[in-house]
Amino acid sequence: MKPLQRFYNLLELDKKDVYQLFFYGILSGVISLSLPLGIQAITNFIQSGRASVSWIVLIVLVVFGVALVGILSFMQLRIMENLQQKIFIRSSFEFAVRLPKIKFEEYYNYYPPELANRFFDTLMIQKGTAKLLVGFSAALLQIIFGIILLSLYHNYFIIFGMLLLVLLYFIFKFSYKPGLESSLKESKYKYKVAGWLQELARNNYSFRNQLHHDYALSKNDSLVSDYLYNREKHFDVIKTQFSQLVVFKIIITASLLSIGGYLVLSQQMNIGQFVAAEIIILLVINSVEKIVLGLETLYDVLTSVEKIGFITDMALEEEFPVDYDNCYTSITLDVDQVSFQFPDSKNKILDNITLTIEQGERIFIDGENGSGKTTLARILSGLMQPTQGAISINDDSFKKINLNQYRSQIESIVYGETPFEGSVLDNITFKNKSIDDDTLKWAINAMQLKDFIKSLPQGLHTSIFPEGKQLSSSNAQKILLARSIVSKPKILFYEDPTDTMDEKAANEIIDFLTSKEHQWTIIVSSKNPYWKTKCSRLITMQKGRIILDTKNQNYA
């Protein structure tokens, strides 16, 4: 979809507000350009040396017109403010809905926080749209009405109007494409600079060493240089547009003053008409200047719409309704000849996997790095979808898995996952009202969080920084584990869930999770060998295949 079409679709959502803006703009334009006629009549009265009631009435009408234009402008301002608020609200919820639901494969080769940063383009769309809808429309209407009004004075002014329209057409025709392309490239490197600064902030400890700091500055210099190069190319387009405008203003101003003077001297126009015509001409030329200079705003808005459009174009997971009254009492997973590979890869990460997982099993997935164990766990948890084969629940191979229903019955901890910004309570329960206090205490005690939470200044209501920065890595993992069991799910999917804990605490938590008193299924991959001793089934993977699937003889 082209940027202009995206922008049109954005405005289409609030077309009623846009129509109101245009209506007030047209009304304001008509009144504004009727003012020169009033000034013309007042000038004629003054020139004739007569003061009358008509002269006073005309002054009152002109002043009233100025006031009315101000009122109409205020009404436009109110509508535009409402429109900007709607754009912000809609964009924020668009991101909030989409970011967790974008297909996992779509994130391949992209850094999700960088994609989230594109939300800030919403601010450019807000401000730019206001300028375009109010400023552009007012300027365009002023040009149109001005040309119509000038043509009433003399046919010569029709040529002026035609030159104006030709100028605008050619400026837009020859500068739109390079202007938009250079703006998009400039934006690309702007985000690269922002992304690198984000990396410096995220890894600030690593870059405190002077040698590392020099590298950070060197890379920043390279990225900024690329940005400046593309910024300069974009400025070249703006500079060309402005140069054309200056030349046009010189030619038009000289021509119209000459034509106007000639018409007055030849008595085809009087002084009042000449003054009014010159006022209209100045208004029209200023309007042309606003439009030409405003093209940069148009480029910025279209670029921002395109950047956000990249997010909205990403494929989402298929949505299914969740029927909480008919949840699974138990879950048996059947995996039938499942394979997986990333879109730009020729190698299969998983190759023809077939297995069955019964409710209550404790399964340890082993294998070297790159063997496919993480990918298998993520496909089983519904985080990723297989490129070939099928997964079914409870031997129901004829129905597509309802991912939302399935996810309501499972919990997972993926490698690198951290607590989010919010209270400890929010991180464990997500404000799920169905979780009672007894269950919450059970999960907290089981994950050995009781003493830690007591030590916090506000207990469960203590706020956690993004990525759990003020927490020890051990307590961060315990919070994630408490979150995973508090809803008592049917299946737990774990990737290295206890690897940052000390051995004693990790082993005690593993004992609790694998205890037979719990009916959940556990599917875990971990560097901690104690997991292997506590699981009932051992699966070993190599190069995307299962090479060993055995019962643990020592499991009791």
Q: How long is the chain? A: 556
Based on the domain organization, do 238 and 368 belong to the same domain? no
Final residue in a domain of this structure, among 312, 341, 376: 312
Amino acid at 363: I
Across the range 187-194, mean pLDDT stands at: 89
The pair of three-digit structure tokens given for residue 292, joined into one six-digit string: 């030409």
Query: H or E element: which one contains 53?
Result: helix 53-98
Average pLDDT estimate for 397-413 = 79
What are 523's two structure tokens? 């599917």
The two structure tokens encoding residue 85: 């608020």
Number of domains in the chain: 2
pLDDT at 48: 61
Would 318 be classed as within a structural domain?
Answer: no
Kindly state whether residues 66 and 214 are assigned to the same domain. Answer: yes
**Domain endpoint, select from 259, 281, 312:** 312
User: Which tens digits make up the pLDDT trace of 95-120?
Assistant: 998 988 888 878 877 888 888 888 98
Q: What is the CATH classification number for the domain harbouring 116? A: 1.20.1560.10
CB 113 within 8 A of CB 285: no
> Model pTM?
0.77
Q: Tell me, yes or no, whether 556 lies in a domain.
A: no
Question: What is the rounded average pLDDT for all residues in the chain?
Answer: 84
- The verdict on residue 403 lying in a domain is yes
Q: Are residues 306 and 331 in the same domain?
A: no
The answer to whether 151 touches 33, Cβ cutoff 8 Å, is no
Q: Which of 312, 347, 370 is the last residue of a domain?
A: 312
Using the predicted structure, report yes or no on whether residue 483 has a pLDDT greater than 70.
yes
Identity of the residue numbered 19:
Y
| Calpha distance 7→361 (Å, rounded) | 53
What is the predicted pLDDT for the residue at 278? Answer: 72
Contact yes or no for 362/492 (Cβ under 8 A):
no
Q: Are residues 301 and 220 in the same domain?
A: yes
Mean pLDDT of 29-33: 67
- The full 3-state SS of 100-138, as one line of letters, equals CCECHHHHCCCCHHHHHHHHHHHHHHHHHHHHHHHHHHH
pLDDT tens column, 514-535 = 998 999 999 999 999 999 999 9
Is the confidence at residue 35, as pLDDT, over 70?
A: no
In a domain, 479, yes or no: yes
* Residues 151 and 293: beta-carbon distance below 8 Å: no
Q: Per residue in 346-390, pLDDT tens? A: 888 899 999 999 999 999 999 998 889 999 999 999 888 888 988
DSSP string, 474-533: HHHHHHHHHHHHTT--SEEEEESSSTTS-HHHHHHHHHHHH-TT---EEEEE-S-THHHH
Say yes or no to pLDDT of 322 above 80: no
Q: DSSP character for 431? A: T
Q: Which residues of 160-175 are buried (b: 16+ CB within 10 A; e: fewer)?
A: bbeebeebbeebbeeb
- Could you tell me which of 26, 35, 38 has the C-alpha nearest to residue 72? 26
How confident is residue 40, by pLDDT bands cut at 50, 70 and 90? low
Contacts of 347 (CB under 8 A, 6+ apart): 341
- Is the same domain home to 203 and 61? yes
Check whether residue 94 and residue 240 sit in a common domain: yes
Residue 52's pLDDT is: 60
Place of tokens 């009932």: 536
Does the pLDDT of residue 398 top 60, yes or no?
no
Mean pLDDT of 184-213: 87
Q: Does 222 score more than 70 pLDDT?
A: yes
Does residue 317 fall inside a structural domain?
A: no
CA distance 384 to 394: 20
Which H, E and C letters describe 192-208, residue by residue?
HHHHHHHHHHHCCCCCC
Instruction: Looking at the structure, tell me whether residues 360 and 505 fall in a common domain.
Output: yes
Answer yes or no: do 352 and 405 share one domain. Answer: yes
Query: Nearest CA to 384 among 420, 347, 332, 343?
Result: 343
Residue 452, pLDDT score: 92
Is residue 266's pLDDT more than 80? no
Integer CA distances (angstroms), 149 to 25, 268, 273, 281, in order: 17, 16, 11, 10
Structure tokens at 327: 């949840």
Bigger pLDDT: 328 vs 436: 436
pLDDT at 51 over 60: no
Query: Among 22-36, 81-95, 429-443, which is the least confidently predicted range?
Result: 22-36
Q: Are residues 275 and 363 in the same domain?
A: no
Whether residues 125 and 252 share a domain: the answer is yes
Per DSSP, which regions of 286-418 are E strands? 333-340, 350-357, 362-367, 388-393, 410-413
Rounded CA separation 89/105 (Å): 28
Enclosing domain of residue 384: 324-551
**Which one has a higher pLDDT value, 478 or 263?**
478
Compute the Cα dihedral for 385, 389, 392, 396 and give only its sign: positive
| Whole-number pLDDT of residue 541 | 93
Dihedral angle sign, alpha carbons of residues 136, 138, 141, 145: negative
Q: Are residues 154 and 259 in the same domain?
A: yes
**In whole angstroms, what is the distance from residue 365 CA to residue 546 CA?**
10
pLDDT of 79? 87
Q: What is the pLDDT of residue 57?
A: 64
Flag the least confident range among 25-34, 158-167, 255-264, 441-450.
25-34
Q: What mean pLDDT comes out for the span 132-147?
A: 76
Q: What is the pLDDT of residue 56?
A: 64
The greatest distance separating any two alpha carbons of the chain, rounded to the nearest whole angstrom, comes to 117
Instruction: Kindly state whether residues 203 and 348 are assigned to the same domain.
Output: no
pLDDT at 33 over 70: no
Q: How far apart are CA 294 and CA 305, in angstroms?
A: 17
